[in-house]
């Protein structure tokens, strides 16, 4: 009997629409039946290595079809796939494999030298599976098995394993401070908390696993182009949401983000959806569409997650893709989906979100902040939420709290206000908050204003030391080609749009804003650069 288990649900979809196209990744195209069979083969290979329920298998690879196959294979085996950032150096990889108790690794050969350098310090990591990526790196020291040879030697028949909605899903998140943390979800909770519960194209959540069959047979199937890396939650969740609708997931597999190539995928694959990560992807996409005018007439959803779209960029996307809805979704590795920006029509209204039924802004006593209150509270979610952080009881106790009514909340650290109409104005992550003379300044609020300046292409705001106020606002900006801008002009532009204590007191211009692989601002790197440029190191 099927459960709300991620593998059970995928197998129900694959059996319902076996010949429908499921995955396009570079030159590889797989139907649901083909993807199901290949993931069965991988699961059986790992099973032959003694890997089973609850054990952790890591994936160290760029975007490619095998990433999806490995994720599904782990679910089928009741093992736990562990996402690894492919940019990590040796010490970071050592920490990740040790912290996550990884016993098996799927990797691209490019990373073999890093792995060989740390292998002896990782006695738990016993099984290596190598992906051909065109690199000639020598990985003989790892004793790895070739991926395609492993699949060829294994059966593609179903495993016949009884699974559970209690099986574990772990998503490692770097967050904004500290070492990466593994957020632990039950399969059932992640399905309803982040994967839309089978209701990706509207309607209510499914009430029983078998209902997904009728949804995918008769409902609208999504087709989505996904440029963000699969090693982050946004990519994984986008893939699963698409496939649980019985749709086609088009994974962008180029080594670097190229807006023209992304839009050509939308045009050639005739997809209805395109996923972005804030302005870092949305700005180049807008500029590419202005230049080339790709035929994206079938596109009706441009969704951004992980970073908020600025008003100018969002308005331009609406002009360039008039038939589409530009959707700013808000969520986190610890919360799943929290809400959506309300400004589908007309001018972009900024970071104002409608909350779903399980999301609230709580005060320090864990009581909901009433609409129209001036109180700044913390975003919280109840209902289908994670179990906690893997092997981190202290951080779990800090982030997962139970109120006086017995309701358990996850409170990851995002601050906001509840406006009079019940929508939420997001202010940003508390860990990035700049304390200047006792006043709290949220970088995202200042960044949203800066990005409206016609000379500024991109911007990040960081705090730097100040003799009188402890910290001051520093704007790190990437100017448009040929533009020039001084601090006085920036301050004058922000005056009247922000309270005076929020105005930038320093300006640093850069060729390109430092961002993490999925497109979020790298606040540490930008602050370090600002301190160096300002002579404050």
> What is the per-residue pLDDT across 293-338, written as a single tens digit (0 to 9) for each?
999 999 999 999 877 788 888 999 999 999 999 988 878 899 998 8
pLDDT attached to residue 348? 61
pLDDT, average across residues 279-284? 88
pLDDT, average across residues 124-145? 92
Q: How far apart are CA 453 and CA 462, in angstroms?
A: 18
pLDDT, average across residues 453-463? 93
- Please say whether the structural domain 217-385+394-428 has been given the CATH code 3.40.50.12780: yes
Contacts of 4 (CB under 8 A, 6+ apart): 165, 187, 188, 191, 192, 209
- C-alpha distances (whole Å) from 504 to each of 375, 443, 507 are 24, 11, 7
Residue 479 phi/psi, 5-degree rounding, is -85, 155
pLDDT attached to residue 344? 62
Residue 498 phi/psi, 5-degree rounding, is -140, 155
Q: How far apart are CA 298 and CA 141, in angstroms?
A: 49
Residue limits of CATH 3.40.50.12780 in the chain: 6-16+32-187, 217-385+394-428
Assess contact for 303 and 271: CB atoms under 8 A: no
Q: How far apart are CA 325 and CA 343, in angstroms?
A: 9
Residue limits of CATH 3.30.300.30 in the chain: 433-533
The CATH code belonging to domain 6-16+32-187 is 3.40.50.12780
Report residue 147's pLDDT band, with 50, 70 and 90 as the boundaries.
Answer: very high
The CATH code belonging to domain 433-533 is 3.30.300.30
pLDDT attached to residue 177? 47
pTM of the model: 0.86
């Amino acid at each position: 009997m099927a459960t709300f288990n991620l593998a059970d649900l995928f197998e129900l979809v694959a059996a319902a629409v076996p010949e429908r196209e499921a995955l396009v990744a570079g030159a590889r195209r797989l139907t649901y039946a083909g993807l199901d069979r290949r993931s069965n083969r991988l699961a059986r290979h790992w099973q032959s290595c003694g890997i089973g329920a609850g054990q952790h298998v890591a994936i160290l690879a760029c975007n490619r079809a095998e990433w999806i196959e490995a994720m599904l294979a782990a679910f089928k085996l009741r093992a736990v796939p562990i996402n690894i950032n492919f940019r990590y150096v040796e010490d970071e990889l050592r920490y990740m494999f040790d912290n996550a108790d990884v016993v098996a690794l799927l990797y691209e050969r490019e990373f073999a030298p890093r792995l060989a350098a740390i292998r002896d310090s990782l006695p738990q990591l016993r099984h290596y599976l190598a992906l051909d990526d065109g690199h000639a790196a020598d990985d003989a020291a790892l004793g790895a098995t070739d991926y395609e040879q492993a699949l060829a030697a294994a059966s593609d028949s179903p495993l016949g394993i009884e699974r559970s909605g209690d099986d574990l899903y772990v998503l490692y998140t770097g967050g904004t401070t500290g070492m990466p943390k593994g957020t632990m979800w039950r399969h059932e909770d992640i399905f309803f908390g982040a994967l839309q519960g089978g209701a990706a194209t509207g309607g209510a959540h499914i009430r029983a696993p078998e209902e997904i069959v009728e949804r995918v047979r008769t409902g609208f199937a999504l087709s989505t182009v996904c440029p963000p890396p699969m090693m982050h939650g946004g990519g994984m969740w986008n893939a699963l949401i698409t496939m649980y609708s019985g749709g086609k997931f088009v994974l962008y597999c180029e080594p670097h983000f190229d807006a023209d190539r992304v839009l050509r995928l939308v045009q050639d694959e005739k997809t209805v959806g395109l996923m972005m990560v804030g302005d870092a992807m949305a700005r180049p996409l807008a500029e590419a569409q202005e230049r080339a005018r790709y035929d994206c007439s079938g596109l009706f959803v441009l969704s951004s997650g992980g970073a908020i779209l600025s008003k100018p960029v969002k308005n331009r996307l609406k002009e360039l893709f008039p038939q589409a809805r530009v959707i700013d979704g808000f969520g986190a590795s610890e919360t799943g989906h929290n809400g959506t920006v309300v400004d589908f029509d007309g001018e972009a209204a900024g970071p104002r979100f409608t909350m779903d039924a399980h999301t609230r802004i709580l005060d320090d006593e864990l009581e909901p902040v009433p609409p129209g209150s001036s109180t700044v509270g913390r975003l919280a979610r109840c209902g289908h939420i994670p179990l906690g952080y893997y092997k981190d009881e202290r951080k779990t106790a800090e982030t997962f709290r139970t109120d006086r009514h017995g309701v358990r909340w996850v409170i990851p650290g995002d601050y906001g206000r509840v406006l009079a109409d019940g929508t939420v104005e997001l202010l940003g992550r508390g860990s990035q908050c700049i304390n200047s003379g006792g006043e709290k300044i949220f970088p995202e609020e200042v960044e949203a204003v800066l990005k409206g300046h016609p000379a500024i292409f991109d911007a990040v705001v960081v705090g730097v030391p100040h003799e009188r106020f402890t910290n001051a606002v520093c704007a790190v900006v990437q100017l448009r080609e040929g533009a020039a801008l001084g601090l006085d002009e920036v301050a004058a532009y922000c005056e009247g749009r922000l309270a005076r204590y929020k105005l930038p007191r320093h300006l640093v211009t850069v060729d390109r804003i430092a961002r993490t692989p999925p497109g979020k601002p790298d606040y540490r790197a930008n602050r370090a650069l600002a301190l160096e440029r300002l002579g404050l190191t």
